[in-house]
Amino acid sequence: MIKISDAAAKQVAISLEQMGEEKLPLRIAIKVMPDGSFHYSMGFDDHENKTDKTFTEKNIQLVVDAASIPLITGMTMDYVEIDGTHEIVFLNPNDPSYKPPIED
């Protein structure tokens, strides 16, 4: 389904701790834009819809809407430093603009 790097799992856990929460699910969604590009959304959400799929990866509870399931299959969520800023990124081979990371 979706992989979460150790760094991303740690950052999600830190964010939950800062919010005073322990097990609030992380919702991930993808919207396909008119030009075919993907727009990613994520946030903590304790509201579950009937068509949502829930699963756990590295002790992180994830919620994904049914429309996003085929778009996230094989995706990796990572936490990386880009130009001096740390951020969550999605490495998604289903995304038309995906370029595999360059191995060192």
Say what the pLDDT of residue 21 is.
83
Reported confidence tier of residue 1, pLDDT bands at 50, 70, 90: confident
CA pair distance 90, 69, nearest whole angstrom: 14
Beta-carbon contacts of 101 under 8 Å, excluding residues fewer than 6 positions away, are: 91
pLDDT higher than threshold 70 for residue 104: no
| Cα→Cα distances 55→25, 31, 97, Å | 9, 20, 26
pLDDT, tens only, 2-34: 999 999 999 999 999 999 887 899 999 999 999
Domain annotation for the chain: domains and CATH numbers: 2-91 (2.60.300.12)
Average pLDDT along the chain:
91
> Which residues face 76 on adjacent strands?
3, 91
The total of other beta-carbon atoms located within 10 Å of residue 37's CB is: 11
The model's pTM: 0.86
Phi, psi of 13 (to 5 degrees): -60, -40
Say what the pLDDT of residue 51 is.
92
